[in-house]
Structure 1
Amino acid sequence: MIQKKIFPILLLSIIGCTLTKNKSNYASELSTFRQEYKDGFLHDDRSPLTKDDLPFLDFYPADPAWKLICQCTKVENAKTFDMPTYSGVTRLYRVYAMADCKYKGKDIRLNIYQNMTQPANPLYKGYLFLPFKDYTNDEETYGGGRYINLYEKDITDNQITIDFNKCYNPWCAYSSGYNCPVPPKENHLTFEVNAGEKKFKGTYKKQKSDK
C-alpha cells in the first residue's frame, strides 16, 4: 500500500525535474540567441545602434509556452502586393503560407510572407518574414509591431515552429531613416504577446535629414 502511494510521488517528482531541466535548457538557448542578436548590430554598417546602446535593449523572460508548433499551409500562386513601410515607401511581397496554432486556448492565424523585391538576392534565399502586432504595442513593446524571421526549411510535414520569444523590433524602433514594413491587418493579434523584445530603453535617434 505504501509502495503504491510512493510510486506516483516519485513519478511526479521525475516529471517535475525534467520540465525544470527543459525550461533551463531553453532559457540558455534563448540567452545565446539574444546575445547573437545584439552582436549583429555591431557587424552591420547600416545599424542604428552602437555598443553603448546595447544595454538598453530589453526583453521578456524566456517562456517556452510561446514556442508554438503551427500547422502550415502553403499558398499557391499568391499575387504579389505592395507592403507599406513606416517611411512611406513600399516593398514587394507575397503571402507564402498561413500558420495556424493555439496559445492557451486562443486561436492564432498568421500570414507568412516572402520578400519579392530582390528575389535573386542571395541574402533572401529561403527567407520568410512574419510581421505582427498585438495588444502589448505602445505599452510594453514598440508601437509599430514586431518581426520574426523564418525560413522555408523550417516547414516540415506541413508544420512550422514559431517562437515568439525570438521576435524582435524593427530598426524604426531605435531611429528614423529606415524602411520598416507595417504589419498587415491580417497579422494583428487581439491579445497580448508577452514574449520577445520589449520597448527600447535608450534614446530614440533622429537622422540628420529629420532634424
Structure 2
Amino acid sequence: MKTLLAGICLILASVAGAQKPYDDSIRQYVADYVKKHEVVVEQDKKYFRFFPPDEAYRVAAKVKKTPNSKWFTMETSGTVRKTFRQYAILEFSIHDTTVQLPVYQSQGLMTSEEYKNHLFLPFTDLTSGESTYAAGRYIDLSITDVKNDMVTVDFNKAYNPYCAYVTGKYNCPVPPKENQLEVTISAGEQNYAKPHD
C-alpha cells in the first residue's frame, strides 16, 4: 500500500512539476503586460485582475484559410470604423465543444513592416459581462505562428481593449457575431476593478 501511495505521489509531483514552468511563463507574461500597459499607469495598475493560469485553455487549432475573403468594416466602440478581412477560421475543441472562430487581418496594420503578419482574434464568451469585459477580449497572433495549418491559441493571454479602462476615448473593435462563443473561457484578463466614466 505504501508503495502504491508513493507511486501516486510521485506521479502527481511530476505532473505538477511539468505544469509549473507553463504557469510561471503565464505569470511572467501577465507581469510584463501590466508593466508595459500604455493606458493604465502608476497606482491604477493594482486594479488589473486575471484568472489563474490554466493550461486547459491553451489549445491547438486547425487553421482553415479563407483567401478570398472580402474586406469589411468592423464595428467599434466609437465613431471610427476599422477595415478587416477574415484570414482563416480556427477550429478547436474546448470543454468537449468544437468551436469555429474567425481570425482577421487589419487593412491598416498590413501596411506596417512591424505588423504586416499580425492576426487579430476578438471574442466574447459566457464570462463576458460577468467576470470579464462585456464587449469582449482580444488575442494577438501572427501568420508566422501558423505551422502545418495549425496554430496554438492561448486564452491565458486574452486581454481587454483599451475601452475597458477609459470610456469614449478609443475606437475598440467589437467582436462580430461569428466570434461570440457559447462556451466559458475562464482564462486571461478579467474585469478591470476600478470603475471609470
Contact 2:109 2:115 survives alignment (8 Å):
yes
The residue aligned with 2:26 is 30
Which residue of 14, 21, 25 maps to 1:18?
Answer: 14
Identity over aligned pairs, percent:
33
Which residue of 61, 67, 81 maps to 2:58?
Answer: 67
The residue aligned with 1:146 is 137
Secondary structure (helix, strand or coil) at the match of 1:200 reads coil
Counterpart CA distance in 1 for 2:25 and 2:13 is 18
How far is 1:86 from its partner? 0.7
How far is 1:78 from its partner? 1.4
The runs of 5 or more residues in structure 1 that have no matched partner are 42-46, 207-211
How far is 1:51 from its partner? 1.4
How far is 1:125 from its partner? 2.1
The residue aligned with 2:78 is 87
Secondary structure (helix, strand or coil) at the match of 2:114 reads helix
TM-score of the superposed pair, with normalisation by structure 1:
0.87
Q: Does 1:188 align with 2:188?
A: no
Counterpart CA distance in 2 for 1:8 and 1:99 is 42
Q: Which amino acid aligns with 1:40?
A: K
Which residue of 106, 109, 125 maps to 2:100?
Answer: 109
The residue aligned with 1:40 is 36
TM-score of the superposed pair, with normalisation by structure 2:
0.93
Q: What is the Cα-based RMSD across aligned positions, in Å? A: 1.8
The residue aligned with 1:44 is none
Q: Does 1:53 align with 2:44?
A: yes
Contact 1:115 1:124 survives alignment (8 Å):
no
Secondary structure (helix, strand or coil) at the match of 1:92 reads strand
Secondary structure (helix, strand or coil) at the match of 1:22 reads helix
